[in-house]
């Protein structure tokens, strides 16, 4: 019923044939890659800490309660840089050039945490 209505209104409810030329055309669009990098930069640190720290701690032998307690300090220490960066971006224009820089710093810090190397930027 919905497809029939869209077809009657716009005439584009039927899917196009997927070809290699169309795939290459859309994969060569730089906007798609920039949006994917922005999504990666914003979600990677949050998912890495949010989903896996408690699981890793439980496999190291800590109880459920202790692993949840040990998960809290990264969030406590993340509040001050997060508040500073948020306030800075609020004052600057919405498309501040420092936003990609802060995302890259976040990725570098996350890589250092998981590699066991000393923290250096």
> What's residue 93's pLDDT?
61
Q: Left, alpha or beta for 11 (phi > 0: left; psi -120 to 50: alpha)?
A: left
> What's residue 32's pLDDT?
86
Q: Left, alpha or beta for 61 (phi > 0: left; psi -120 to 50: alpha)?
A: left
Q: Reply yes or no on whether the pLDDT at 56 is more than 80.
A: yes
Lowest mean pLDDT across 28-32, 62-66, 109-113: 109-113
SS3 label, residue 11: coil
Please report, rounded to a whole number, the percentage of residues in the chain having pLDDT higher than 90: 7
> What's residue 113's pLDDT?
58
DSSP symbols for 12-46 = --SPPPP-HHHHHHHHT-HHHHHHHHHHHHHHHHH
Structure confidence by residue, pLDDT tens digits, 104-121: 776 676 666 555 555 454
Query: Residue 82 to residues 13, 18, 77: CA-CA distances in angstroms?
Result: 44, 43, 9
Distance CA 79, CA 76 (A): 6
Structure confidence by residue, pLDDT tens digits, 67-98: 888 877 767 777 777 777 777 777 766 666 66
The arithmetic mean of pLDDT across residues 49-62, rounded, is: 82
> What's residue 121's pLDDT?
47
User: Domain ranges in the chain?
Assistant: 2-115
């Amino acid at each position: 019923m919905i497809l029939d209505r869209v077809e009657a209104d716009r005439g584009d409810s039927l899917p196009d044939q997927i070809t290699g030329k169309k795939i290459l055309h859309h994969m060569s669009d730089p906007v798609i890659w920039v949006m994917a990098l922005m999504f990666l930069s914003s979600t990677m640190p949050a998912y890495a800490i949010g989903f896996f720290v408690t699981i890793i701690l439980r496999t190291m032998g800590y109880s459920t309660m202790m692993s949840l307690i040990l998960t809290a300090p990264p969030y406590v220490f993340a509040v001050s840089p997060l508040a500073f960066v948020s306030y800075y971006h609020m004052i600057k224009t919405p498309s501040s050039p420092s936003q990609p820089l802060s995302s890259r710093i976040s990725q570098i810090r996350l890589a250092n945490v998981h590699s066991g190397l000393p923290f250096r930027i």
